[in-house]
Amino acid sequence: MRLQILPAICLCVGLWLAPPALAGRSCDAEQPPKAATIERGLTLAERTLVALDASGARVVILARAGQDLSPYGLRYSHLGFAYRQPDGQGGYVWRVLHKLNQCGTPDASIYRQGLGEFFMDDLWRYEAAWAVPTPEVQERLLVLLQDTPRATRLHSKPYSLVSYAWATKYQQSNQWALETLAAAMEPSTDSRERAQAWLKFKGYTPTTLKIGPLTRLGARATKANVAFDDHPNEKRFSDRIETITVDSVFSWLQRAQLAGAPVQLAL
């Protein structure tokens, strides 16, 4: 295991507005992670760090593949903002700001982590992807991401893995990121409703998942972090679940000319 890379990728996590421990991991993961899992996560973080440094970017939209979503035609499960900041010693470090569900509960919090911690979960696939925003988008995001009140203004604690893209009852992780991007681009945004209005104006289209009633009922009955009651009845009862996914965000960023094509890095 290459422990010398730890300072560079900030394995030691700075948790902010969140309790420690199991965010983003299964609730039965009290046992320590396996050595192979740690090593692969750190290797992915190290290679991502090298690639981000080489890109010249100051902010990227960073994604990981924490779950197998291939039955829905999706590749990535979770995204956040990775940004570069001075380390106080003449250099700089990369931080990741993202939202995580807490151990399968109906709540979530915002985390500020290093690349090492971001990739430390037991990932489904050891692959990173990121989109580099335009210089203007990077500048606006960088200002917001380092301003704690602004960065958390649109955070909503109630969480559903499949929250409706155009509602505010719940908020999943990718939804928070996209609404926060809207707030960075339109500084007058002071509510989730206004952020969603901006996204609609800019042509964002959520992913439509085909989820039947038996699957919906089973998930709702057994998982505290899954709810469907914020979806319009006419869509929900026709098995159309519209939610925000990494794949749809990457496609929209490129289509709206807010970022380039996503870059992939796999072990």
Q: What is the pLDDT of residues 86-134, one digit of tens each?
A: 988 999 999 999 999 988 899 999 999 999 999 987 799 999 999 999 9
Q: Report d(CA 11, CA 39) in Å as an integer.
A: 12
pLDDT given at position 2: 40
Continuous segment of H or E residues that includes residue 13 = none
pLDDT given at position 220: 63
pLDDT value at 77 more than 50:
yes
Read off the pLDDT of residues 24-55 as tens digits, 9 standing for 90 and up. 444 554 567 788 889 999 999 999 999 999 99
Do 86 and 66 touch, CB atoms closer than 8 A? no
Residue 141 has which token pair? Answer: 């995001």
Read off the pLDDT of residues 210-227 as tens digits, 9 standing for 90 and up. 998 867 766 665 688 999
pLDDT value at 21 more than 70:
no
Q: What is the mean pLDDT of residues 135-139?
A: 98
In this prediction the pTM is 0.89
Q: Report d(CA 30, CA 144) in Å as an integer.
A: 34
pLDDT given at position 82: 98
Residues with Cβ within 8 Å of 154's Cβ and at least 6 positions away in sequence, in order, are 176, 179, 180, 183, 189, 191, 192, 195
